[in-house]
Amino acid sequence: MKIAMVGAGYVGLVTGVCLADFGHDVTCIDNDPRKIEALREGIVPIYEPGLSELVKANVEGGRLAFSSDLKSVVKDADVVFIAVGTPSRRGDGHADLTYVHAVAREIAAAVDGFTVVVTKSTVPVGTGDEVAHIIATTNPNADVAVVSNPEFLREGAAIDDFKRPDRIVVGIEDERARAVMTEVYRPLYLNQAPLQFTGRRTAELIKYAANAFLALKITFINEVADLCESAGADVQQVARGIGLDNRIGSKFLNAGPGYGGSCFPKDTLALMKIGQDFGSPMRLVETTVAINDQRKRAMSRKVITACGGDVRGKKIGVLGLTFKPNTDDMREAPSIDIIRGLQDRGAIISAYDPKGMDAAREMIDKVDYAANAYDVAQDADALVLITEWNEFRSLDLERLKGLMKSPVLVDLRNVYRHDEVTRHGFAYSSVGRPDHATYRDGMTETAE
Ligand SMILES: NC(=O)c1ccc[n+]([C@@H]2O[C@H](COP(=O)([O-])OP(=O)(O)OC[C@H]3O[C@@H](n4cnc5c(N)ncnc54)[C@H](O)[C@@H]3O)[C@@H](O)[C@H]2O)c1
């Protein structure tokens, strides 16, 4: 099939290259000429494990190309995906559909013959109707079926998620689209990935409901972590104890500094607004958003407490900036709020992240960027582990202590064990775990 992918960001590029890898003939289009130029030169502008290699293989195989010329690519396409951004609209938190609508108009003017137009961007309920309306009014002769096909991939594991999805959701209103979409996803379907056909509005809502539920789960365990701290219980064991119940499940039960990233914050906010618009408020989601907002800032207070209540003039070293490991994405990363909270109280920040420092430089001012974790620790009054990159999981604690002005470690991802860190003379605090306990095999608790 000839596929046009409009938007060559995290989702568009991964989807485009994976569909090419299935054997389709894919052209990724972007209106950022630098992005297209770089891709044509073999440079992948984002970090996603395995992506560069897959792009290279499919370009060489003649199945993947890049273009800035939407018109000529869409004209020949059987299927056109819309994978442009839908950020929070400034001021009110609704999903900003400017880019989606603009692309719909461009597609309308370019289509030739029956074409399936697929919205892959995360969009509010009713956007498919609006896209169909825009296309019909811009070009009354256009013969299109507008489909909703939300994306569930996770950054950092995006290729694997695309190739081994839990499900593929396809919302259609025109039966002609069913066969086309089945053909697009045939290799996955043959691999037994469930292909769920629904109405278009239902598919649009599935995406928001899924993300909001996951955000709610994270926020729940974060609140349990706070209770554990007050009550002298251990959140990791609580999470294991509840997660082994199949009705609950063990994923997304890691207590931490609050959710961030390019999806959960904007999608929870958008679902809140959708609920209000339909007169059906999503009160659990509203509360989740409020708790999570406060939590990021609360994490800087945790660091200040670990530093004896005052960080003015102190050097705080930050390990990890991206919203999670294995990505360079800094959008809505908790590190931004935590660092600003510390800077507001007079702290001097040095930081290191394996992939996120270029993006971080554009978002956070007055940070000294270091070459590695040990460089961050040099003369630091405290270290804060914010993102659990693998390279922070087995740091040489003795060496770190030797470099630091005072050995204080605040572990916001519960990577280390209390006994292990304190044995090296550190003052250690983590999230939702009592300071007086030691842990063996992550399971057995014994009083010190
Ligand atoms: N990033 C994720 O993990 C993820 C996962 C699932 C769903 N989504 C959703 O997918 C959508 C895209 O997200 P993303 O992270 O890939 O965004 P992104 O910002 O990385 O990419 C969007 C791309 O679209 C391009 N673009 C904008 N307007 C255009 C136009 N008129 N013509 C051509 N290109 C245009 C931009 O230049 C950019 O390269 C969003 O709706 C997001 O919510 C994202």
Q: Is the predicted pLDDT of residue 186 greater than 90, yes or no?
A: yes
Please, which pLDDT band fits residue 442 given cuts at 50, 70 and 90? very low
The answer to whether 338 touches 372, Cβ cutoff 8 Å, is no
Please, which pLDDT band fits residue 436 given cuts at 50, 70 and 90? low
The token pair that represents 404 in the structure block: 């630091």
Q: Is 119 helix (H, G, I), strand (E, B) or coil?
A: strand
Min mean pLDDT across 75-89, 181-195, 401-415, 420-434 is at 181-195
Instruction: Report pLDDT digits (tens) over 187-198.
Output: 987 878 899 999
Instruction: Report pLDDT digits (tens) over 238-252.
Output: 999 999 999 999 999
Alpha-carbon gap, residue 237 to 139, rounded angstroms: 59
Give the position of tokens 């365990």. Answer: 221
Q: Is 318 helix (H, G, I), strand (E, B) or coil?
A: strand
How do strand 64-67 and strand 25-29 relate by DSSP bridges? parallel
Alpha-carbon gap, residue 202 to 273, rounded angstroms: 17
Q: Is the predicted pLDDT of residue 261 greater than 60, yes or no?
A: yes
Ligand 1 atom 39 nearest Cα: 9
Task: State the average pLDDT over residues 359-382.
Answer: 97
How many residues does the structure list for the chain? 448
Q: Is the predicted pLDDT of residue 160 greater than 80, yes or no?
A: yes
Instruction: Report pLDDT digits (tens) over 83-107.
Output: 999 999 988 999 999 999 999 999 9
Q: Is the predicted pLDDT of residue 201 greater than 50, yes or no?
A: yes
Closest ligand 1 atom number to CA of residue 29: 33
Residues 6+ apart with CB under 8 A from 43: none
Min mean pLDDT across 97-106, 287-296, 432-441 is at 432-441
Q: Which of 18, 28, 228, 263 is catalytic?
A: 263
In this prediction, residue 438 carries a pLDDT of 47
Task: State the average pLDDT over residues 274-288.
Answer: 97
Ligand 1 atom 29 nearest Cα: 31
Q: Which amino acid is at 110?
A: A
Q: Is the predicted pLDDT of residue 114 greater than 90, yes or no?
A: yes
Q: Is the predicted pLDDT of residue 441 greater than 70, yes or no?
A: no
Q: Is the predicted pLDDT of residue 275 greater than 60, yes or no?
A: yes
Ligand 1 pocket member 386 (CB < 6 A): no
Ligand 1 atom 27 nearest Cα: 84
Output the average pLDDT for the chain.
95
Residue 411: what are its φ and ψ, rounded to 5°? -105, 95
The answer to whether 240 touches 369, Cβ cutoff 8 Å, is no
In this prediction, residue 443 carries a pLDDT of 43
In this prediction, residue 193 carries a pLDDT of 84
Ligand 1 pocket member 231 (CB < 6 A): no
pTM of the model: 0.94
Alpha-carbon gap, residue 362 to 377, rounded angstroms: 23
Mutate which of 11, 118, 214 for ligand 1 pocket (most atoms within 8 A of beta carbon) = 11
In this prediction, residue 190 carries a pLDDT of 80
Q: How many angstroms separate the alpha carbon of residue 354 from the centre of ligand 1?
A: 23
Look up 228 and say whether it is catalytic: no
The answer to whether 150 touches 202, Cβ cutoff 8 Å, is no
Ligand 1 pocket member 151 (CB < 6 A): yes
% the chain with pLDDT above 90: 95
Ligand 1 atom 18 nearest Cα: 9
Q: How many angstroms separate the alpha carbon of residue 213 from the centre of ligand 1?
A: 22
The answer to whether 124 touches 95, Cβ cutoff 8 Å, is yes
Q: Which amino acid is at 230?
A: S
The answer to whether 147 touches 3, Cβ cutoff 8 Å, is no
Q: How many angstroms separate the alpha carbon of residue 376 from the centre of ligand 1?
A: 33
